[in-house]
Structures are given as C-alpha cells and as structure tokens.
Structure 1
Amino acid sequence: MTEPNSLKSVLEQLAEADKARESKLTGPQRRARTVARLAAVQALYQMELAGEGVDTVITEFSNHRFDGDIEGEMLAQADEAYFADIVRGVVGKQRDIDAAVKARLASNWRMERLDSTLRALLRAGAWELRERQDVPREIVIDEYVELAKAFFDDAEAKFVNAALDGVARDARG
C-alpha cells in the first residue's frame, strides 16, 4: 500500500473520474454518491480496526465527519442515506459478500490476507453490485477502481477491477 493522498486530493481525483456517471443523477447528486462511497470504505475500515458497531460509526460520520472541512476547504455534500445503506448492507450480508469476493480470488488467497482498506473497497463494491441493481455495473466498478487508485498502486486498482468485474458477472449475469 502506498502512502495515501490527502483526502482533499482523493476527492478531487474521484470528482474527475465521476464525470458522465450515474446519468440519472445531477452533478451534485453524483458527487454526493462518490463521497458516500469513500466514507463507506473509511467506515468499514474503521469498524474492522476499532471493532466499533455499525450504528456507532454511522452516527459518528453523520455527526462529525459529513459537512465538515478538510484542510480548510468544505467537504462535498455526502449522500448520507446511501452511505448508511452501503455500511449496513455490507455488515448485514458480510458472509455472503466475502464468499462472492473470495470466489474471484486466486484459490490460495483468503480475505484475511488482503489489506484492510482493500477488503473494505471490495466489500462495499461487491455489496453494491449484488444489491443495487439500479446502479449500472460500470459505474460501481469504476468508482471503486478510482478509490483504489487513490490509496494504492495500479496493481491493486487492477485487482479491484478484476475482482469486482467477476462479482458483477456472478451477480448480474
């Protein structure tokens, strides 16, 4: 894992990658979804490392992280309901999601061997692919690949792309 960029630069990268996605949504709505996905990955990571419960983490993000500033600039508005859906969905179906992701890993790999941030990315992306049929697969995969690029090298981003593409084929045909 490479040293993560500042959260501000991550959001800037994601905003650039967000163009032409989720065509039914306006620009601010698309951006709010991107921020929700980033926050969901952060929340899942935090839950795994700190052992905090889903409601505690969702409340913390709602009360203290959303609508705040980063490095002196306001964070874009998050789709807080979408964020909560992802986090609750991943936690509620984690066994099934992990099985779906594991089916796309090399035979000798286990989820526990993956970096915690990478696990959070894959779990959130897999949940969206399996449970949010209304969101085009290309959008889901692209969003999480862009998130992976913000935290990792190209090799991990390609890994996320391949794994989520496999999950999408399994879940959506």
Structure 2
Amino acid sequence: MSAPKKPAPKRSRARSVARLNAVQALYQQEMEGLATPLLLNEFHRHRFGETIDENTLVDAEMDFFDDIVRGVTARAEEIDGKITARLADGWKLDRLDRAMRAILRAGTYELIARPDVTVGTVIDEYLDVAHAFFGEKDVKFVNGLLDKVAGDVRA
C-alpha cells in the first residue's frame, strides 16, 4: 500500500490556478480580442477568489498569472515560431484548437522565460491543464510538443 499523496504546498496550488487562469485568459483574448490590460483587470476583479457552488476557488498567484499572460502577448511571434517549428510537416498553428494554442503558448512561454521553473514542472502543470480540456490523445500531443520545445530552449 502506498503512502497517501501529500497536498501541494499553497504556493504550488496558487501557481497551478494561475496557469489554468492564464490559459483561460489567453483563450478569451483570442476569442474577443481584448487588450491585455483590460483582460488582466477582468480576471483580477471577477475571477480570482470566485465562489462557485458555495466553494471559494483557491486564489491564484496573481503576479505569476500576469507574467504568463503579458509574456505570451509580448513574445507571441517568438513563441508561435517555437511551437510551429515542432509541429508535424503540413501542420500550421491555426489548425489547432484555440484552447490547445493557449496551453502550448503558455507552456512555451514558461520554458523560454521562466528558468526558475523546472522543465518537468512546466510540462506536468500544462498536462494537468490539458486534462481539463482534452482527452488522452491531445494530452500526449501537449507532452510531446512541450518536451521538444524544452529541448530547443533549455539545452
């Protein structure tokens, strides 16, 4: 019998929530074309600490959330280039689902710009996010692509 899994430290949970919210924000930004400052304000005021079904959601680490959203926006061309370089021949980024693009962009941003976060943590966290939106085949796609990007940018 294995030992029960320890709950994640508060900072770890807050960063996980920040990543999920960042993916949601990037998806919303692509759908609605909101300027980044307006998008961040909306999430700060209306999403963090939200109560759903009488349960208050864990607060996200707002600075981490802001960094991901701003970073993906500011470095979009570089990030999209890294992802596109690792897509199968004949595939284009715009062929992917918007939620998939948001996950890959956020993960790629962390791999490029957040050397304080280990490759394993980045990949594991975005696999968890991918599980919230997709089935196992797509989760494996996220794993493979982010692993290849990590090899390119963290070598």
Offset of 1:142 from its aligned partner?
A: 0.5
The one-character-per-residue Cα deviations of 1:93-143 (angstroms, maximum 9, x if unpaired) are: 000000001111001111100000000000000000010011000000000
1:166 matched residue in structure 2: 148
Q: 1:117 aligns with which of 99, 102, 112?
A: 99
Of stretches 65-74 and 91-100 in structure 1, the one that deviates more from structure 2 is 65-74
Q: 2:115 maps to which residue?
A: 133
Q: So what's the TM-score if we normalise by structure 1?
A: 0.85
After TM superposition, give the deviation of residue 149 of structure 1 in Å.
Answer: 1.1
3-state SS, counterpart of residue 100 of structure 2: helix
Query: What residue in structure 1 maps to residue 11 of structure 2?
Result: 29
5+ unaligned residues in a row in structure 1: which ranges? 1-15, 20-26
**Aligned counterpart for 2:135 among listed residues 140, 153, 169:** 153
Structure 1 position 63 matched with structure 2 position 39: no
Unaligned runs of 5+ residues in structure 2 are none
Q: How far 1:146 sits from its partner (Å)?
A: 1.1
Distance in 2 of aligned mates of 1:97 and 1:107: 18
- Matches of 2:132 and 2:38, distance apart in 1: 26
Give the aligned residue type for 2:17: V
Matched, 1:54 2:36: yes
Deviation at 1:87, TM superposition (A): 0.1
Q: What is the Cα-based RMSD across aligned positions, in Å?
A: 1.1
CA distance in 2, matches of 1:71, 1:40: 22
TM-score, scaled to structure 2: 0.94
Residue in 1 that maps onto 2:72: 90
1:39 aligns with 2:52: no
Q: CA deviation at 1:71?
A: 2.4
| Rounded Cα–Cα distance in structure 1 between residues aligned with 2:133 and 2:111 | 21
Partner Cα distance (1:73, 1:132) in 2 = 31
**Amino acid aligned to 1:104:** R
Within 5 Å, give how 1:73-88 maps onto structure 2.
73-88=55-70
Structure 1: distance between partners of 2:47 and 2:130: 21
Corresponding residue SS for 1:102: helix
* Cα deviations by residue, 1:38-77 (Å, 9 ceiling, x for unpaired): 0000000000001111110100000111011122200001
